[in-house]
Amino acid sequence: MDKDDKNIEKGFLSIFLTSFTTIFIAELGDKTQLATLMLSAESGEPLIVFLGSSFALLCSSIVGVLIGKWISTKISKEKFALFTGILMTLVSAWIGYTIFNIDS
């Protein structure tokens, strides 16, 4: 129980940095970034596109946080960690699979 608490009770800054790094890495070269890029190039109004897409990303991030919180109240924390762990491993495998299909 002690060990469990230590795992979860990390500092604000540490959680902030973990979230920032994970999301930033996941987002680079992602389809969202490509869409932002295309909208910005097509319209010639990068500032407006930046405002619109930033706001959309904020909203989707709030949705993600709220869904995560909601699910974690419905099922036990251990089960939640296991399910999302499996899901993330699958996503990793899927990204890995697409690497080998970039050229085709």
Partner 1 sequence: MIINLLISSFITIFIAELGDKTQLATLTLSGTSKKPLAVFLGSASALILASLVGVLAGGSISTFIPEIYLKLIASLTFLIIGSRLIFDYLNK
Site for partner 1 in 35-54 (CB under 8 A): 35-37, 39-41, 43, 45-46, 48-54
Confirm or reject binding of residue 28 to partner 1 (CB under 8 A): yes
Question: Which of 2, 6, 30, 104 forms a contact with partner 1 (CB under 8 A)?
Answer: 30
Q: What is the CA angle 48-32-28, rounded to 5?
A: 110
Q: Which amino acid, one-letter code, is at 91? A: V
Angle between helices 46-74 and 31-43 (to 10 degrees): 160
Write phi, then psi, for 76 (nearest 5 degrees). -70, 155
Site for partner 1 in 45-104 (CB under 8 A): 45-46, 48-69, 71-72, 77-78, 80-82, 84-93, 95-96, 98-99, 102
> By CB under 8 A, how many residues form the interface with partner 1?
81
Q: Output DSSP code: residue 1.
A: -
Whole-angstrom Cα Rg for the chain: 18
Please state the closest distance from residue 76 (CB atom) to partner 1, in A: 10
Please state the closest distance from residue 60 (CB atom) to partner 1, in A: 4
